[in-house]
């Protein structure tokens, strides 16, 4: 083997070692490459729904629960809370989404408090016990108006 | 995962791209030709669901299979008309010192492809627009589906090009519920293409090192597995730019037309690319003018160059978006109302430098890549101050992206700094990489390594003859004509 090739080989390894020891790259490698992408472990968990759950997080699980519970209700339109409202009620892990994302996750119609279609909501996702969310049905328009006012008090940050 | 479907798509991407490539009769080495075939084949096949939708054919697996087969067959006509035995790339075993960089690159490729396959689409811009439409198009067999009946007031992402939507529909139907793997096809093809460009210009050790810093642009690497428009747009914009620079050097019209097509496809993916392409046109206009090309001919070239991109813009907005999005599109309110006030332009140009690049978040977005480029450009200016044509063109390309995005931010206030400009700046990265490969300093370093490794490849030093004393030369004797047969 050519001695010059061996020297260049060591030069190459030294260059790579220096490059990935630059703080910006080193931090990136550990935070975004090694820790996030554990291929051997992920290869053991190939179930589609599990992968979605892992990627979209806790809120996605709540959305799927809502989808299951409301499967038998026709024409459901859910008024989604603002993040400000959720934090004010000590709901920390769950975050709200836009109506379009809610439809993507669940196939159910939703509106936000700023939506021009807000008056069409039939249910709301509310927090009656601190730290928890639940669905509440609107029996009349007054209840809907009250809920809109409550959500509007806590705009999303 | 449906491996047969994936194989079918890989073959159709390759064949359709290869057929289009043959139309241009470009002189390319086998490896770049294969890479370009895939790079062209992905956007080419993405048109199939649009055509099916326009023909009101339901978007089911069978119709998409048939549609893609027919489309590929049509694209293959140039291959059949001028059939030549395919040139297979010669496999050359990499040298020992190339392996460390190649293995690290391979590691990154595996990580990217795996994440693209394993994780579902995530970015908000996708889930509230193209991915949402694609998901329901698969369920309802039409791109004009129930999504447009829901509350969409928080997003305008459904007005974007159907490029991602259609590729997601194809891959969801034929390969896998998350789609996405088309992005890996683009990523692997482009990586190989750009590596082959670097190998042609610098020593393999330096080519490997440049590729590593190219991969280590955190934000860019993330978008090799997070589906969005920007990575594909960067790939097509850069290849368009590369073929434009080739045209400037070899003056082959085919390279020019091919460059226009690639820029057109980049416009189809992200329509604001049209502005950058307009900024790019002085590059060849001035060049042709200095070569004393007739003005009428220059004007014709400009019309072709911009015309192709405008056609793709019209296809995207006036045909596809107009027909597939049953909601009114009004872009007039997106344009800056105070067009005579230039302060937003200067602010954006300043913000790009101070907020996006030279800030605490700069290394999080772009690593040290842009900083390295700046230092290298300054060093080149001091010594050796030698620029080849490609380096100068690359510097112009860098200026186009910088000032172009300043202008886009000024013209379209919705094109914000932290999203549109940040991701749009991906286009500057491979152009900077092209400059690095042509930089005077790196060229010298590369040659030094080459000549040290193989002294015989070094240019031979001229042997300077010792000066001879001046003296009067004796008059040359008359030429002798010996043994000439006598005339009889």
What's the pLDDT at B291? 85
More confident position, B230 or B482: B230
A-interface mutation test, from B109, B150, B218, B357, most A Cβ less than 10 A away: B150
What's the pLDDT at B479? 47
Distance (Å) from the C-alpha of residue B224 to the closest C-alpha of chain A?
A: 13
> Do B95 and A110 count as a contact with CB atoms less than 8 A apart?
no
Using one digit for the tens of pLDDT, what is the confidence trace for B16-29?
Answer: 999 999 999 998 99
Between A12, A25, A111, which is nearest B151 by CB? A111
pLDDT tier, B462 (very low <50, low <70, confident <90, very high otherwise): low
Question: Is residue B119 pLDDT above 60, yes or no?
Answer: yes
What's the pLDDT at B155? 87
- DSSP lists the bridge partners of residue A77 as A109
pLDDT tier, A84 (very low <50, low <70, confident <90, very high otherwise): very high
B148 to chain A, any CB pair closer than 8 A? The answer is no
What's the pLDDT at B480? 47
Residues of A with CB under 8 A from a CB of B: 1, 4-6, 8-9, 11-13, 15-16, 19-20, 22, 24-25, 28, 32-33, 36-37, 39, 42, 48, 51-52, 55-56, 98-101, 103-104, 109-112, 114-117
> Do A117 and B151 count as a contact with CB atoms less than 8 A apart?
yes
Beta strands A123-126 and A109-111, pairing class: unpaired
pLDDT tier, B2 (very low <50, low <70, confident <90, very high otherwise): very high
> Do B449 and A8 count as a contact with CB atoms less than 8 A apart?
yes
- DSSP lists the bridge partners of residue A110 as A78
Using one digit for the tens of pLDDT, what is the confidence trace for B150-173?
Answer: 999 888 889 999 999 999 999 999
| Residue B125: closest CA among B88, B164, B99 | B164
Q: Which DSSP string do the residues of A6-74 spell out, in sequence order?
A: HHHHHHHHHHHHHHTTSHHHHHHIIIIIITT--HHHHTT---HHHHHHHHH-HHHHHHHHHHHHTTT-S
More confident position, B87 or B117: B117
Query: What average pLDDT is seen over chain B?
Result: 92
Specify the 3-state DSSP secondary structure of A77: strand
Phi, psi angle pair for B347, to nearest 5°: -65, -45
What's the pLDDT at B392? 96
Do B151 and A75 form a contact (C-beta atoms < 8 A)? no
Separation CA B119–CA B180 (nearest Å): 9
> Do A98 and B154 count as a contact with CB atoms less than 8 A apart?
yes
Phi, psi angle pair for B403, to nearest 5°: -70, -35
Q: Which residues contact B298 (CB under 8 A, 6 or more apart)?
A: B285, B288, B289
pLDDT tier, B290 (very low <50, low <70, confident <90, very high otherwise): confident
Between the two ends of chain B, the Cα-to-Cα distance in Å is 96
Question: Is residue B218 pLDDT above 80, yes or no?
Answer: yes
What's the pLDDT at B333? 78
Which whole number is the average pLDDT over B468-484?
48
Separation CA A112–CA A99 (nearest Å): 7
Specify the 3-state DSSP secondary structure of B186: helix
pLDDT tier, A155 (very low <50, low <70, confident <90, very high otherwise): confident
pLDDT tier, B485 (very low <50, low <70, confident <90, very high otherwise): very low
Using one digit for the tens of pLDDT, what is the confidence trace for A31-64?
Answer: 999 888 889 999 999 999 999 999 999 999 999 9
Between B135, B151, B208, which is nearest A115 by CB? B151
Separation CA B78–CA B119 (nearest Å): 38
SS3 readout for B15-76 = HHHHHHHHHCCCCCCHHHHHHHHHHHHHHHHHHHHHHHHHCCCCCCHHHHHHHHHHHHHHHC
What's the pLDDT at B460? 77
* Minimal-distance CA residue of chain B relative to A121: B151
B293 to chain A, any CB pair closer than 8 A? The answer is no
Which whole number is the average pLDDT over A111-129?
93
Between the alpha carbon of residue B393 and those of residues B7, B240, B387, the distances in Å are 38, 13, 10
Distance (Å) from the C-alpha of residue B174 to the closest C-alpha of chain A?
A: 16
> Do A33 and B453 count as a contact with CB atoms less than 8 A apart?
no
- Looking at chain A, the number of H-run helices and the number of E-run strands are 8, 4
Burial of A13 (C-beta count, 10 Å sphere; 0-12/13-18/19+)? middle
Which whole number is the average pLDDT over A141-155?
92
| Residue A80: closest CA among A112, A107, A55 | A112
pLDDT tier, B210 (very low <50, low <70, confident <90, very high otherwise): very high
Query: A99-106 and B130-140 are packed helices; what angle lies between their axes, rounded to 10 degrees?
Result: 40
> Do B127 and A32 count as a contact with CB atoms less than 8 A apart?
no
What's the pLDDT at B154? 87
| Residue B173: closest CA among B123, B138, B129, B222 | B138
Separation CA B464–CA B348 (nearest Å): 58
More confident position, B485 or B219: B219
Tokens of A78: 């859910």
Separation CA B242–CA B26 (nearest Å): 13
Tokens of B128: 């509230």
- DSSP lists the bridge partners of residue A126 as A134
Tokens of B461: 């030093």
Residues in chain A: 157
What's the pLDDT at B468? 53
Separation CA A59–CA A53 (nearest Å): 9
Separation CA B151–CA B122 (nearest Å): 20
Percent of chain B whose predicted confidence (pLDDT) is above 90: 82
> Do A12 and B208 count as a contact with CB atoms less than 8 A apart?
yes
The long-range contacts involving B214-217, CB below 8 angstroms and separated by at least 24 positions, are B214/B369, B214/B429, B214/B430, B214/B433, B215/B105, B215/B108, B216/A19, B216/A20, B216/A25, B216/A28, B216/B367, B216/B369, B217/B365, B217/B366, B217/B367, B217/B369, B217/B429
| Residue B203: closest CA among B374, B31, B32, B444 | B444
> Do B368 and A22 count as a contact with CB atoms less than 8 A apart?
yes
Do A39 and B114 form a contact (C-beta atoms < 8 A)? yes
What is the residue extent of each domain of chain B?
3-83+96-335, 336-453
> Do A5 and B131 count as a contact with CB atoms less than 8 A apart?
no
What's the pLDDT at B327? 87
Which whole number is the average pLDDT over B312-336?
89
What's the pLDDT at B481? 43
What's the pLDDT at B484? 44
Contacts of A33 in chain B (CB under 8 A): 108, 111
What's the pLDDT at B228? 96
Beta strands A123-126 and A134-137, pairing class: antiparallel
Do B239 and B262 form a contact (C-beta atoms < 8 A)? yes
> Do B98 and A12 count as a contact with CB atoms less than 8 A apart?
yes
Using one digit for the tens of pLDDT, what is the confidence trace for B304-323?
Answer: 999 999 999 999 999 999 99
User: Residue B467, Cβ neighbours under 10 Å: how many?
Assistant: 6
* Minimal-distance CA residue of chain B relative to A111: B151
A-interface mutation test, from B122, B129, B151, most A Cβ less than 10 A away: B151
Which whole number is the average pLDDT over B335-339?
90
Between B101, B132, B218, which is nearest A32 by CB? B218
B109 to chain A, any CB pair closer than 8 A? The answer is no
- DSSP lists the bridge partners of residue A111 as A79
Burial of B465 (C-beta count, 10 Å sphere; 0-12/13-18/19+)? exposed
């Amino acid at each position: 083997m050519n001695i010059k090739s061996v020297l260049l080989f060591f030069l190459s390894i030294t260059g790579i070692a220096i490059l990935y020891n630059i703080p910006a790259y080193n931090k990136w490698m550990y935070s975004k490459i090694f820790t996030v992408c554990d291929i051997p472990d992920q290869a053991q968990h190939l179930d589609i729904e599990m992968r979605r759950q892992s990627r979209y997080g806790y809120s996605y699980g709540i959305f799927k629960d809502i989808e299951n519970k409301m499967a038998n209700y026709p024409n459901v339109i859910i008024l989604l809370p603002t993040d400000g409202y959720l934090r004010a009620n000590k709901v920390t892990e769950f975050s709200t989404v836009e109506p379009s994302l809610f439809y993507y996750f669940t196939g159910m119609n939703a509106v936000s408090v700023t939506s021009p279609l807000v008056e069409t909501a039939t249910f709301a996702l509310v927090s009656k016990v601190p730290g928890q969310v639940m669905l509440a049905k609107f029996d009349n328009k007054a209840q809907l108006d009250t809920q809109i006012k409550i959500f509007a008090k806590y705009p999303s940050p | 995962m449906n491996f047969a479907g994936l194989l079918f798509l890989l073959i159709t991407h390759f064949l359709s791209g290869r057929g289009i490539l043959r139309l241009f009769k470009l002189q390319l080495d086998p490896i770049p030709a294969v890479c370009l075939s895939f790079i062209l084949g992905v956007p080419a096949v993405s048109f199939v669901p649009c055509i099916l939708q326009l023909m009101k054919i339901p978007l089911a697996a069978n119709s998409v299979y048939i549609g893609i087969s027919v489309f590929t067959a049509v694209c293959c006509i140039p291959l059949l008309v001028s059939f030549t035995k395919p040139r297979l790339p010669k496999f050359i075993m990499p040298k020992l010192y190339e392996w460390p960089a190649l293995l690290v690159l391979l590691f990154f490729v595996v990580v990217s492809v795996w994440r693209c396959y394993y994780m579902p689409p995530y970015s908000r811009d996708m889930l509230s627009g193209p991915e949402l439409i694609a998901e329901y198009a698969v369920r309802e067999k039409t791109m004009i589906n129930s999504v447009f009946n829901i509350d969409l007031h928080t997003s305008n992402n459904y007005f974007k090009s159907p490029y991602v939507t259609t590729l997601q529909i194809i891959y969801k139907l034929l390969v896998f519920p998350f789609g996405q793997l088309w992005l890996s096809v683009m990523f692997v093809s482009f990586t190989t293409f750009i590596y082959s460009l670097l190998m042609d210009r610098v020593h393999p050790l330096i080519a490997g090192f440049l590729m590593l810093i190219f991969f280590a642009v955190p934000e860019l690497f993330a978008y090799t597995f997070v589906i969005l428009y920007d990575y594909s747009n960067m790939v097509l914009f850069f290849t368009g730019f590369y073929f434009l620079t080739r045209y400037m050097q070899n003056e082959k019209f085919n390279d020019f037309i091919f460059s226009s097509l690639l820029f057109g496809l980049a416009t189809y993916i992200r329509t604001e690319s049209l502005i950058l392409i307009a900024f790019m046109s002085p590059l060849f206009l001035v060049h042709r003018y200095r070569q004393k090309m007739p003005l009428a001919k220059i004007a014709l070239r400009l019309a072709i160059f911009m015309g192709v991109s405008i056609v793709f813009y019209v296809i995207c907005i006036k045909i596809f978006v107009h027909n597939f999005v049953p909601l009114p599109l009004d872009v007039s309110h997106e344009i800056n109302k105070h067009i005579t006030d230039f302060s937003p332009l200067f602010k954006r140009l300043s913000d790009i430098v101070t907020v996006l690049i030279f800030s605490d978040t700069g290394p999080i977005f772009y690593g040290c890549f842009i900083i390295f480029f700046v230092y290298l450009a300054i060093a080149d200016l001091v010594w050796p101050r030698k620029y080849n044509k490609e380096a100068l063109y690359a510097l112009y390309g860098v200026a186009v992206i910088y000032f172009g995005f300043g202008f886009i931010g000024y013209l379209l206030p919705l094109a914000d700094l932290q999203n549109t400009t940040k991701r749009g700046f991906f286009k500057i990265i491979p152009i900077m990489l092209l400059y690095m490969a042509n930089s005077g300093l790196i060229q010298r370093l590369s040659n030094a390594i080459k000549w040290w490794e193989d002294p015989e490849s070094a240019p031979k030093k001229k042997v300077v003859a010792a000066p001879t004393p001046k003296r009067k030369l004796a008059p040359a004797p008359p030429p002798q004509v010996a043994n000439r047969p006598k005339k009889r």
